[in-house]
A and B are shown apart, each in its own frame.
Chain A
Amino acid sequence: MLDLQEQYDKIYRYCYFKLYDRNLAEDITQETFLKYYEHYSFNNENTALKHLYTIARNLCIDEFRRTKTESIDESTVELPYENDVTDKLAIKNAIRRLNDDEKELLLLRYVNELNVGSIGEMLGISRFATMRKIKVAVKRFKEELRKEDMHE
């Protein structure tokens, strides 16, 4: 049984960091859930999540195609936070410099805590390849973070 409260936030977060638009992200989140429940009802959580994310991913891709952009330049769109501490800002900047795939992997694996197998299935790559890509993404993130620290 999916914990809807939790998964709503996670899917929303996933969509937000693809679209960088609160309303749009929420719209797509809701559409994702509606579509899921229209056709599926899996008891196995992993299977359910896989389908949920796949739907969300495809909807985001559709959204990009619709507005004819490959990805959004978030430096112009993201709202500044009053509560951003320097550390947080450094982290955000580092993330910003990663490419879309790397960002996606890090978010799915470490923030939304999806398991590697599910991520692989969702992206259509082997578990092994997924782990490798995640490792690379982590390395890149750490590199960028170090660069940020060196600026201070």
Chain B
Amino acid sequence: MSDLKKKLQMGFDAPAPIRKEEFLEHLNISENANKSNLEGFLFSQIGYISKSAWVFSLLSLIVAMLGIRYSDQHMIWIISGMTPLLALSIATESSRSERYGMAELEATTKHSLASVVLARLFIISIADLVAMLVITLIGYKAIGRTAVPTMLYVITPFLISVFLELYSVRKLRGRQSFYACIAISFLVSLSIYFIEFEFKTLYKPEFISAWVAAAILALIGVMVQGRKIIKNTEEIVVWNWL
């Protein structure tokens, strides 16, 4: 250390601070709070979505693509009715923590169980939605219609299922929401098959406006649920596990 520095350090010798430790302790707690941000958290959760959820999504994607390839115009309703099943990955993801006994531990952390699960569900839903778009873009040629109606037929049942399932996961607990999701997927799927079977008008051109309306409503529903999920990661959630 230079002589100059030594001298100056002697001269600028302040009386010791007295409230340092207490303050730094307090700061430490709040520093950690500010550090973790939303995007980082969401990203960190991608890696923890179970491989089976991704596999499920991929499988459904493949099946849907095969369906498009080997079907003629009249078979669109088969595919359309199958997409709600893709939303089932929501069911499995939402109950994973409880099934493996991690739920209690996760619930006591800063980001807590609810946020974790919901964050994952949101990610999966987005991924599946992208998959849907891919299916339709590839498939519309095979079906002989223009892209937009095909997209609607494929995406809307999926959106409806996702919306209803995200809602039920937010409102219900572990095991219950698991069964609720399964029920929703099958119900939406069966409803489509039933209506088409009975009335045979679902996929007629005149009916397209109904699809548009349904798609828009479902999309809004999903966005709203998604927004609530994101808000959740910063909000108070106290789950009653009994």
Chains A, B in direct contact (C-beta < 8 Å): yes
- The contact size tier of chain B is 20 to 34
Contact A26–B24 (Cβ < 8 Å): no
Cα–Cα, bound, A31→B76 (Å)? 65
Q: Does B23 interact with chain A (Cβ within 8 Å)?
A: yes
Pick from A79, A87, A106, A141: contact of B15, CB below 8 A: A79
Within 8 Å CB of B31, what residues of A?
37
Within 8 Å CB of A110, what residues of B?
4-5, 8-9
Pick from B12, B14, B23, B27: contact of A95, CB below 8 A: B12
Interface size on A, residues (CB 8 A): 34
Within 8 Å CB of B19, what residues of A?
26, 30
Cα–Cα, bound, A38→B30 (Å)? 9
Contact A12–B10 (Cβ < 8 Å): no
Contact A12–B14 (Cβ < 8 Å): yes
Within 8 Å CB of B20, what residues of A?
5, 8-9, 12, 26
Cα–Cα, bound, A145→B12 (Å)? 14
Within 8 Å CB of B10, what residues of A?
87-88, 91
**A113, closest chain B residue (CB):** B5
Q: Does A65 interact with chain B (Cβ within 8 Å)?
A: no
Q: Does B35 interact with chain A (Cβ within 8 Å)?
A: yes
Contact A111–B8 (Cβ < 8 Å): yes
Q: Does A64 interact with chain B (Cβ within 8 Å)?
A: no
Looking at chain A's contact residues, the main secondary structure is: helix
Pick from B17, B27, B30, B35: contact of A9, CB below 8 A: B17
Within 8 Å CB of A142, what residues of B?
4
Contact A16–B14 (Cβ < 8 Å): yes
Contact B12–A13 (Cβ < 8 Å): yes
Q: How many whole Å from A92's CB to the nearest CB in chain B?
A: 5
Q: How many whole Å from A104's CB to the nearest CB in chain B?
A: 11
Pick from B15, B23, B34: contact of A16, CB below 8 A: B15
Q: How many whole Å from B37's CB to the nearest CB in chain A?
A: 9
Cα–Cα, bound, A87→B10 (Å)? 9
Contact A37–B27 (Cβ < 8 Å): yes
Cα–Cα, bound, A47→B27 (Å)? 20
Contact A33–B27 (Cβ < 8 Å): yes
Q: Does B242 interact with chain A (Cβ within 8 Å)?
A: no
Q: Does A29 interact with chain B (Cβ within 8 Å)?
A: yes
Q: Using a CB-CB cutoff of 8 Å, which residues 1-57 of chain B contact chain A? A: 4-5, 7-15, 17-20, 23-24, 27-28, 30-31, 34-35
Contact A8–B8 (Cβ < 8 Å): no
Contact A13–B24 (Cβ < 8 Å): no
Within 8 Å CB of B13, what residues of A?
81, 88
Between-chain CB contacts (< 8 Å), 21 pairs = A4-B27, A5-B24, A8-B20, A8-B24, A12-B20, A17-B12, A22-B15, A22-B17, A26-B19, A29-B17, A30-B19, A37-B30, A88-B10, A88-B13, A95-B11, A107-B8, A107-B12, A111-B8, A111-B12, A138-B4, A145-B7
